Copies of this chain bind each other. A is one copy, B any other.
Amino acid sequence: MSSEQPVKKRISESTIHRLSMYFRTLSLLQKEGYETVSSKELARREKLTPAQVRKDLSFFGSFGTRGLGYDVIELKAKIGEILGIDRVWKVAVVGIGNIGSALVSYKEFTRQGFKIVKLFDNDQRKIGSNHKGIVVSDIKNLEKEIKEDGIEMIILTVPATVAQYMVDDVVRAGVKAILNFAPINLKVPPDVYLRNENMSMELEYLSFAIRNNHTPKNMK
């Protein structure tokens, strides 16, 4: 049974998000001392169906043993590979304000392979200051320092009014992935990946749910 193959089919956003969930749960199972886990148990913990779990994995290969389930450590490693977190990604945070500086101290990112190595701001009072051992750089040196350090991902936490300019700058510096927190639709070239983190949207979902007595299938 083949267990490795390049991704051919188009993988849905939901599948990728569930892979992240499986990964986290597998880490927990590992800590709890489990050696194997069935799709049934994995599904129970994520409130999914076992078929869903198996189907998600089947897009990438066959990693289980019939009658037994999946080896926890092995499956975790496989999913880590699929997600691309079997390596360290160098990340820079642009905009060291309220949310930016909170993210810098978030240890979970490092644990998942996202290492924040550079911070940028344009405020003279912030440039040179130290956050968790990292000195804030002047935004003027963005392109130079990103290239020097081989940074491939940006967390963007600047005001919405300047977010597009900053995106244009980091794209020019060769960055291929951006996680944006500003509540604005940004334009990026087709070869740059952009995700938006939008907390108001989640609060609005809750508001909608209460107002409409919504019974959702998938309150993820």
- Complex Cα distance, B83 from A23, in Å, reads 33
Q: Are A84 and B13 in contact (CB under 8 A)?
A: no
Known contacts A16-B208, A17-B201, A84-B210; A196/B177 CB under 8 A? no
- Complex Cα distance, B106 from A215, in Å, reads 29
- Complex Cα distance, B99 from A98, in Å, reads 8
Give the contacts of A202-218 with B (CB-CB under 8 A). Answer: 202-212, 214-218
Number of interface residues, chain A, beta carbon within 8 A = 68
Known contacts A11-B214, A13-B216, A197-B199; A207/B83 CB under 8 A? yes
Tell which of A61-69, A107-115, A139-147 binds the partner: A107-115
Please name 25 pairs of A and B residues whose Cβ atoms are closer than 8 Å in the assembled complex, sorted by A: A10-B215, A13-B218, A13-B219, A13-B220, A16-B204, A19-B208, A20-B198, A20-B200, A20-B201, A20-B205, A21-B201, A83-B207, A89-B203, A89-B207, A109-B199, A109-B203, A152-B210, A176-B210, A179-B203, A193-B210, A193-B219, A194-B219, A195-B202, A195-B205, A195-B206
